[in-house]
Amino acid sequence: MHEADFVIIGSGSAGAAMAYRLSEDGKHSVAVIEYGGTDIGPFIQMPAALSFPMNMKRYDWGLKSEPEPHLGGRVLATPRGKVIGGSSSINGMVYVRGHARDYDHWSEEGATGWSYADVLPYFKRMEHSHGGEAGWRGTKGPMHIQRGPRQNPLYAAFIEAGKQAGFELTDDYNGSKQEGFGPMEQTIHMGRRWSVANAYLRPALKRGNVRLINGFARRVVIENQRATGVEVEIRGQAQTVRARREVIIAASPLNSPKLLMLSGVGPAEHLREHGIDVVADRPGVGQNLQDHMELYIQQESIQPITLYSKLNLFSKALIGAQWLFLKSGLGASNHFEAAAFLRSAAGVDYPDIQYHFIPVAIRYDGKAAANSHGFQAHVGPMRSKSRGSVTLRSSDPWADPVIRFNYMSHPDDWADFRHCIRLTREIFGQDAFTPYRGAEISPGAQVQSDEELDAFIKDHAESAYHPCGTCRMGRADDPMSVVDPECRVIGVDGLRVADSSIFPRITNGNLNAPSIMVGEKASDHILGRQPLSPSNQEPWINPRWQTSDR
């Protein structure tokens, strides 16, 4: 019963993609271990309800950071999907591939075979793009990607304001040109959240050679330096799911390093402290934790055209009914429909600032920040130099890991964030916003000096929920590498990690798309296939990058 060629821990972005690809030719059996339950229900499937699932114990692991020393000791929520489809079932449904230079940097850091030319064919393989740039996007893949309707005039105002401020426009930031203002892409299809559960896992489960095991993965069973299975707790009973060929961990950048350490792979001294026998001394396990932080910059709207008027119960009921019966209307969008990727300064060769724009002043947790009509930009730097860690709290598999992001620990982070705030004010101050612009809600016009801005950042900067990097991919002879460029755990046979924890450095924008790409590409490595032929397409780099930020 509990045996398969490949055993995958986690049904999230990478795990579901691997279940689909490893089972595709019918030659191999695949078992997917997932502790979370079903994703059926309006809170997950209705795009506009996105603030609910990430705040529900039923769907979220409920992990939290340790008190962050540079943020006044704040403890930050770190949502991770505990449900079929993993975090793709509770995320904001924003689709960003990352910039070409991100992947070229991976390759330079020792992740050979993962340059942009190498990964672009996998992005194309996974995509079914609706409205993307011809020749740069996939049109036959399982992942449907669309643009929002952008009916609210504030979306056009945001894009026009960027143009007026002298910045580039782009019609497809996932195509040849990331830099500029333009439409934001969504993993939404036919009015529903298009998670990897819908795109990959359900089709794979219909094949007969893929099985979903509902249980809690306690550790990987390693015998004579080879992974032979996974110890799983099912209804209070420990059982072993045996892997005839390989075990693949795809449990998130918080739980994947935890599982490795519980299985004896990690920093030897740390493992011994917790009474765990050392199988492979890999000091990089749990290190190199990275994330994106962002702020909400909020402006009052003097015209009553924002989503604020839809926050009452009657409007919500109408929106819900229209979505339930027709899969249309305001319920069928995440409302992130305009975006920008900008460079912070002359001499920066590709974007290092991301904007999400939304026509309401509201927090991620769904609480209205302002009792009035407003609009906001989520803005943050893309390449923070701060690094954190994930370590064990105890040898008990049920104990949450110790998560230290160490946000804002590098002095450059503060200057970068101050620049983001001032830049957003410049954009909101353009003529395009004049018909709509009221007072600044947050930070507020009185917050001007570096010290005042720093105080605001310290109190209000939040995670964009893009953790990664804790099982870094690199050269096999690099002591801080955890996996080699084929995702094989260094020092253990028959074991791989394939999810966002292998990123050497965080990519531009939201991490769902790169995580799925990792699952797609890892599948070819696992099957011993020749990787897809590298692309020869050249991405657009601003010809003025050395002399101007725009």
Tell me the CA end-to-end span of the chain in Å, nearest whole number: 60
The answer to whether 100 is annotated as binding is: no
Distance CA 364, CA 94 (A): 14
Q: Which of 99, 189, 292, 466 is catalytic?
A: 466
The answer to whether 399 is annotated as binding is: no
58 Cβ neighbours under 8 A, 6+ residues apart: 37, 82, 83
SS3 of residue 476 by DSSP: coil
Distance CA 221, CA 491 (A): 14
SS3 of residue 293 by DSSP: strand
The answer to whether 21 is annotated as binding is: yes
The answer to whether 462 is annotated as binding is: no
The answer to whether 250 is annotated as binding is: no
β-strand partners of 233: 216, 238
Q: How many CB atoms lie within 10 A of CB 107?
A: 18
The answer to whether 10 is annotated as binding is: yes
The answer to whether 491 is annotated as binding is: no
The answer to whether 92 is annotated as binding is: yes
Distance CA 512, CA 543 (A): 30
SS3 of residue 543 by DSSP: coil
The answer to whether 445 is annotated as binding is: no
The answer to whether 31 is annotated as binding is: yes
Give the CA angle between residues 470, 473, 475 to the nearest 5°: 135
The answer to whether 39 is annotated as binding is: no
The answer to whether 15 is annotated as binding is: yes
The answer to whether 26 is annotated as binding is: yes
Q: Identify which of 471, 2, 99 has the alpha carbon closest to the alpha carbon of residue 261.
A: 471
The answer to whether 23 is annotated as binding is: yes
User: Within 13 Å of residue 407, how many CA atoms lie on the same side as its CB?
Assistant: 30
Hey, what are 383's tokens? 């390449």
Does residue 99 have an active-site annotation? no
The answer to whether 346 is annotated as binding is: no
The answer to whether 453 is annotated as binding is: no
- In order of 56, 87, 450, the CA distances from 59 in angstroms are 6, 9, 40
SS3 of residue 235 by DSSP: coil
The answer to whether 83 is annotated as binding is: yes
The answer to whether 7 is annotated as binding is: yes
The answer to whether 16 is annotated as binding is: yes
Hey, what are 544's tokens? 């003025």
- In order of 94, 101, 104, 109, 185, the CA distances from 350 in angstroms are 20, 7, 12, 18, 20
The answer to whether 94 is annotated as binding is: yes
Distance CA 492, CA 219 (A): 14
Classify each residue of 338-369 as buried b or exposed e, where b means 16 or more C-beta atoms within 10 Å of its C-beta. bbbbbbbeeebebbbbbbbbbbbbbebeeeee
The answer to whether 133 is annotated as binding is: no
The answer to whether 415 is annotated as binding is: no
The answer to whether 350 is annotated as binding is: no
Q: Which single residue is written with the structure tokens 């529900």?
A: 56
The answer to whether 456 is annotated as binding is: no
214 Cβ neighbours under 8 A, 6+ residues apart: 34, 35, 37, 234
Write the DSSP assignment of 345-388 as a string of letters: STT--S--EEEEEESS-B-TTS-BS-SS-EEEEEEEES-----B
The answer to whether 17 is annotated as binding is: yes
The answer to whether 34 is annotated as binding is: yes
Q: Give the residue numbers annotated as catalytic, written as ranges.
A: 466
Q: Point out the annotated binding site.
A: 5-34, 83, 91-94
Q: Point out the annotated binding site for FAD.
A: 5-34, 83, 91-94
